[in-house]
Amino acid sequence: MKPVSFTKTGLDLLFIQFTWTLWALGIFLLIDVVKMIFQSNVDLLYSSGYIASNIYMLVIGIIVISFLTYFVENGITRTNYFYGNVIASIGLSIIIPIILYVLSLIEKFIVNQFTNIVLNENTLEDVVVDVDGNIIGEIIQAMILSPFISPESNLLLSLALFSLNILVFYIIGWLIGAAFKRLGVIGGILFIAIGIALIAVKDSMIRLAMDIPLFESFAFLDIVPEALALPLVFVVIVATFMMIRLLTKRAPIDI
């Protein structure tokens, strides 16, 4: 039997997860419509989807480890599973912001033409929140309030930042799922903490690069030169992929 390439595996994984994503985007849109029925002032779908997509990608990243057993049982190597899902994760991270942006344009046209509803278009300043030194609260804020740029001010930068944020959430979810599969509950819990730390570093580096105030608990990261901030985000991504690779190489397969 001819070996299955990692590109074919990647396209299969992308198709499966894109199908899930269509359902998720449909739910995001439905929630937005319901808000419009009861409110006269709502966030644009792109803005609300920016936050919801973080959580969605974290969840499906955790779930995707379940495909390892399926692919290995069907003769696909762990290596091809890993590189295939790297392709799928990047592809999904690019597709979601584009779809949400197009849906937002359609939403904006319909709402402006036929209703009196006000659509809020958040700007970069909207994510600057008061910090009080409560590290738990600030970690939660870092996970929910990722730095945001309105597509109206800079479309390409907005889409790129959106993609970067949700990619990190996806691979952190994948890392946590792989850790639970390879190391069990204790190891999985440890990697939840590692994942939270990586998200906090990612968030802080983006804030540094965009001159947004850091949360008080992460103010010590201000020593990082601005020129190194974005490269460090990519270091976080590469390091996470490497940890996933190490965990999936020896993860047990349930037959």
Conformational region of residue 211, where left means phi above 0, alpha means psi within -120 to 50, and beta covers everything else: left
Instruction: State residue 135's pLDDT score.
Output: 64
> What own/partner pairs with CB < 8 Å and gap ≥ 24 does 124-129 have?
124/148, 124/149, 124/150, 124/153, 124/210, 124/212, 127/212, 128/212, 128/213
Nearest to 45 by CA among 94, 92, 102: 102
CA–CA separation, 168 and 93 (whole Å): 9
What single string gives the DSSP state of each residue in 128-178?
A: -----S-HHHHHHHHHHS-----TTT-HHHHHHHHHHHHHHHHHHHHHHHH
Helix and strand element counts for the chain (H, E): 7, 2
Mean pLDDT of all residues in the chain?
A: 85
* Predicted structure pTM score: 0.90
CB 163 within 8 A of CB 67: no
pLDDT classification of 74: cutoffs 50, 70, 90: confident
pLDDT digits (tens, 9 = 90+) for 221-238: 888 888 899 999 999 999
pLDDT digits (tens, 9 = 90+) for 181-192: 999 999 999 999
The mean-pLDDT minimum among 133-137, 161-165, 198-202, 216-220 falls in 133-137
Q: 4: which DSSP letter? A: P
> What own/partner pairs with CB < 8 Å and gap ≥ 24 does 142-145 have?
142/199, 142/200, 142/203, 142/204, 142/215, 142/218, 143/54, 143/196, 143/199, 143/203, 144/51, 144/54, 145/51
Angle between helices 6-38 and 66-73 (to 10 degrees): 150
What are 41's strand-pairing partners? 118
CA–CA separation, 83 and 100 (whole Å): 26
pLDDT digits (tens, 9 = 90+) for 118-146: 666 654 445 444 445 566 666 677 666 77
Residues 6+ apart with CB under 8 A from 190: 179, 183
Q: Return the domain boundaries, the chain.
A: 6-249
pLDDT digits (tens, 9 = 90+) for 91-100: 999 999 999 9
